A and B are shown apart, each in its own frame.
Chain A
């Protein structure tokens, strides 16, 4: 009985500071709005306003040498009736899906190894930092460094020839879908590793033991315990990778030797030709596509638990 009264006294104590907080004489509602004001302003000026601008410009008109304010659907009509648009969007989605699948398998495996096989925290940190080393150099340099490796007379081809595996250099190593996806995987796997690793580290290790105690095999533990509990991390990683790949243009340009197209390159070409309204319309369609993809992903998993 005395324990019960003790806990009640404790509860009374801990709830006391909550009441003492209103020292400025502001109501909780006002304080809440004031606290969220800075972030609201930043998001308004740097996110909402630009998007609104893009949407407005996407309805403008353009000639070869000028753009003029208007409200017309010409840009969208041209975009949505051109077969090029569909093949480019399809190609973009192809890159996104393949890159997503590969980074997911790699990211999950790496995160699993780090979280469950590396025993000490020190080694986990060391190996995790090792994963981030590529990020010490810029994206472009990391991409370009693949070129001498994959080129017709590059290291990969000459090594394979000297080993006698192939007689002629492989043409598809560079400036192909292969090299584009290779670069994407190289650039973005870490974005999959980090959220998955983060979720896995929060899994109570005794759950794995409990599964083992209940007769689960290693594979059953993976499918029945680890994967379901890692889903939020997988989703966050997937959103990162899908949005990054769908919005990318420079990787596709460099690694395909300008031979492949995605939506980002469509936009960048329009901009190079000063066709801003057309670029804006494409950007709006891309934004809608990405939002739909994210909407679908969020249907599967409630990521709010992670945030």
Chain B
């Protein structure tokens, strides 16, 4: 994809009274990518999204889309469309009327707008439900309708505010695949706010981790997961052990630590096994080392059962130097 619909945030800030929700963030988001804004609740990710959407005014800074400054434009004039967390479908309108709502507001005649709405409903596989009311649909179906309603405005960026959080776990996985498929087919940017690192890793081309109104790290999912830059990112993204090294704190992935039952020359630590959890494809071994406190080690199931480890046993840990990433303070 070209950079036609590239989005740029320039020292974007949001203040509510004395509290700063978003603190002068600078970020470029290339066009046609799936970007996840990841962070705990209250980290400023939703405020950022709502400022991009135009539902929240920026306290200072600029939002530039496709070379135009859209900071002060109303939502419908920005080329963005938002999909709300609760879907916000109009309960008194049928599915078709919901999808065609923006066209009706523009004064498009009934025949044309129903035709367009049908096309969009086909795209999200909801053609059979055009006459239903939102309350007659399941959560997943409501979400598809909300998607169709957002996409009918032909946005260059679709903004999704925690789109999967209202679904049950089973449906969440299915809609996740669906969202990714739609984004690939349409070739527009999706910016997706979530607090679930699994969701972000599975969906995103680009992850932006936020905390306390600041961007902690951004990059490709595997970069962020492999080499967290700060302690916060390492903890939030999970699967990492954080320990104090000589030049500051270190993060090592739990599955990159090797467990030895005998002392080996490269073993960095000795520890005592505190708990063993069988997770199906792998086994999680919690160990306690006097030097670092509790650590988690993930061992593949085959490797583990070839050489089982008992609780209370002494073990020795080692890892490759390139797997230890030093963290910024």
Contact = CB atoms under 8 A, between A and B. Distances in A.
Given A213-B75, A214-B149, A216-B105, A3 B169 contact: yes
B76 A215 contact: yes
B88 A206 contact: yes
Nearest to A221: B105
Contacts of A204: 86, 88
Given A214-B76, A214-B149, A209 B101 contact: no
B168 interface: yes
A269 interface: no
B92 A229 contact: yes
A213 B87 CA distance: 12
Interface in B85-107: 85-86, 88-92, 101-102, 104-106
B75 A228 contact: no
B90 A215 contact: no
Question: For the side of the interface on B, what is the size category?
Answer: 20 to 34
Contacts, number: 66
A19 B246 CA distance: 64
A contact face: mostly helix, strand, loop, or mixed: helix
A209 B76 contact: no
B251 to A, nearest CB: 30
15 contacts: A3-B169, A204-B86, A206-B84, A209-B82, A210-B90, A211-B105, A212-B75, A212-B76, A213-B75, A213-B76, A213-B150, A215-B105, A215-B153, A224-B105, A229-B90
A56 interface: no
A228 B88 contact: no
Interface in A1-53: 3-4, 7
B170 interface: yes
Given A3-B170, A209-B55, A214 B101 contact: yes
A220 interface: yes
Interface residues of A, number: 20
A303 B53 CA distance: 36
A14 to B, nearest CB: 15
Nearest to A203: B91
B245 interface: no
Nearest to A210: B88
A89 B106 CA distance: 47
A294 interface: no
A215 B77 CA distance: 8
Contacts of A229: 90-92
Q: Which of A206, A210, A211 has the most CB of B within 10 A?
A: A210
A274 interface: no
Given A220-B105, A224-B104, A214 B86 contact: no
B74 interface: yes
B170 A4 contact: yes
A225 interface: yes
A207 interface: yes
A206 B86 contact: yes
Interface string B46-73: 0000000111000000000000000000
Given A206-B86, A215-B75, 20 more contacts: A204-B88, A206-B84, A209-B55, A209-B88, A210-B82, A210-B84, A210-B89, A210-B149, A211-B105, A212-B74, A212-B75, A214-B102, A215-B77, A215-B105, A216-B102, A216-B105, A217-B105, A220-B105, A224-B101, A229-B91
